[in-house]
Amino acid sequence: MATYKSRGLRGSTFEEFINKTNEVYAENGLALIQKIPTPITPIDMDNKGHITLAYFDQKSTVDYVGAIQGIPVCFDAKECNKDTFPLQNIHEHQVNFMGNWEAQDGLAFILIFFSERDVYYYLTFEKLKEFWDRMQEGGRKSFRIEELDEKYFFTTKPNLLVPYLDMINIDLSSRT
């Protein structure tokens, strides 16, 4: 079973950037997005009461849920330091949850930070499902940065570390 010590802080800076962006969006009445904590059970604690080792109680769904101007959204945040993203970083129960979310007329996506290139990517659920199905059918267990649609790459803006609302607008406009 995975432990907090081995996986818990991976991507924490990226998630902190998303959290700060979500605060700005909330302050401006643009969105209300909440970080979903992963339930853990502490195993070891130091003398100050800080958890030093824990295990994950259950499978989580996604990192964030909320609403953006009346649209229910859920998304996960992933970080990748190479140009190839391994699909093992996404779990089947997450894909199923996101699929069910979309079936309820919600919007599901994954935000990926390609740290080596210092760029962000908005992966639509539709594209995720395409990669996922390819893997399930015996194809590649990853996708390359070259396979991604250029219109969904983005960078920081003043006061917005991870400005993903622009990408949501592109995603929504491509659906109609």
Handedness of CA 90, 91, 92, 97 (dihedral sign): negative
- Rounded distance between C-alpha atoms, residue 134 and residue 154, angstroms: 26
- Rounded distance between C-alpha atoms, residue 38 and residue 57, angstroms: 8
Q: What amino acid is encoded at 163 in this protein?
A: P
Q: Any known ligand binding at 166?
A: no
Query: How many residues in total does the chain contain?
Result: 176
φ/ψ of residue 112, rounded to 5: -120, 130
Q: Any known ligand binding at 41?
A: no
Q: Are 2 and 56 in contact (CB under 8 A)?
A: yes
Q: Any known ligand binding at 76?
A: yes
Q: Any known ligand binding at 94?
A: yes
φ/ψ of residue 174, rounded to 5: -80, -15
Q: Which residues are annotated as a binding site?
A: 61, 63, 76, 94
Q: Which residues are annotated as a binding site for Mg(2+)?
A: 61, 63, 76, 94
